[in-house]
């Protein structure tokens, strides 16, 4: 990408130096043997997703870190901080211009950078959950070490892969502003059997919104050759089918929450090619 960072975004909250890191406690493994539990725990950390819920197992619980650990700062992460700042500001400027065309006013999100774990309005957030958005406080939470795993473990390197991840989470913020998230939550409560399907549709729409922003980035000439391929590769890397296959050797679509690799690539591509949010109706039957 050819983004020229202009310093840290005013909407960036850096908690990486905050105390509160430390060891993790484990409890409860259901009917799973301790060996299998530990394998899934390690993979959950690697893949930054709760694989216990994805594979349908009861699993265990990673408890909150013990307080009082020494602050951690890593100056080598500063280029990523500046990239995240630039992508954040670009996304927010785009949605602030675009949403009024659809009858809504955009409300700026905050990006929180943290390490290991942090408190959120949605509960205690942990790195193992991966990058996530909390609608209760309008904040995106990212542990930058996820991008190292995205590169080394997932085989999805590149600055645009990182931009895709953040743009996907901003997509969730857009859904919150538009009221889509609340509507989906109500529908899930009315029909719990449709909960996973609705969750997948919500995630795929966020992928599509990330593609819509990428369309703008291409128009502005800030993309390098291969950037879109990096985004598609990242989308494929975090597909539920790929994660399940690597974690357990089998695929269980009934327990998906984010969609398959192919679905995630398809909707990102649709957003990129159209450049229009109204092309992202993943809920159309």
- Tens-place pLDDT, residues 168-216: 999 999 999 999 999 999 999 999 999 989 999 999 999 999 999 999 9
**pLDDT averaged over every residue in the chain:** 80
- Is the full-model pTM beyond 0.75? yes
Q: Give yes or no for a contact between 204 and 126, defined as CB atoms under 8 angstroms apart.
A: no
Alpha helices in the chain (DSSP H): 34-47, 51-54, 78-98, 145-152, 159-178, 180-190, 195-219, 227-237, 240-248, 261-274
Residue 27: phi and psi, rounded to 5, are: -150, 145
Q: Give yes or no for a contact between 146 and 115, defined as CB atoms under 8 angstroms apart.
A: no
pLDDT at 3 > cutoff 60: yes
Quote the DSSP letter at residue 224.
P
For the chain, the structural domain boundaries read 12-17+73-279
Range with lowest mean pLDDT among 1-10, 59-68, 110-119, 183-192 = 59-68
The set of residues, in sequence order, having a beta carbon less than 8 Å from that of 15 and lying 6+ positions away, is: 112, 113, 114, 115, 118
């Amino acid at each position: 990408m050819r983004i020229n960072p202009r310093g840290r975004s005013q909407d960036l909250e850096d908690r990486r130096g905050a105390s509160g890191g430390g060891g993790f406690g484990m409890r409860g493994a259901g009917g799973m043997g301790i060996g299998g539990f530990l394998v899934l725990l390690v993979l959950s950390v690697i893949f930054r997703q709760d694989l216990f819920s994805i594979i349908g197992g009861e699993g265990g619980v990673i408890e909150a870190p013990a307080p009082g650990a020494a602050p951690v700062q890593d100056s080598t992460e500063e280029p990523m901080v500046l990239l995240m700042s630039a992508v954040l500001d670009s996304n927010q400027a785009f949605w602030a211009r675009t949403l009024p065309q659809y009858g809504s006013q955009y409300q700026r999100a905050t990006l929180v950078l943290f390490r290991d774990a942090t408190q959120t309005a949605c509960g205690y957030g942990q790195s193992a959950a991966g990058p996530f958005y909390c609608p209760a406080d309008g904040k995106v939470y990212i542990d930058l070490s996820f991008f190292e795993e995205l590169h080394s473990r997932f085989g999805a390197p590149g600055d645009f892969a990182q931009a895709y991840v953040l743009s996907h989470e901003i997509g969730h913020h857009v859904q919150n502003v538009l009221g889509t998230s609340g509507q989906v939550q109500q529908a899930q409560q009315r029909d719990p059997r449709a909960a996973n399907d609705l969750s997948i549709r919500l995630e795929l729409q966020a992928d599509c919104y990330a593609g819509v922003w990428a369309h703008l980035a291409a128009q502005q000439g800030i993309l390098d050759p291969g950037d879109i391929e990096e985004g598609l590769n990242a989308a494929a890397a975090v597909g539920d089918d790929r994660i399940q296959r690597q974690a357990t050797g089998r695929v269980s679509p009934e327990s998906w929450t984010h969609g398959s690799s192919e679905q995630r690539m398809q909707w990102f591509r649709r957003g990129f090619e159209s450049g229009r949010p109204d092309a992202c109706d993943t809920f159309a039957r």
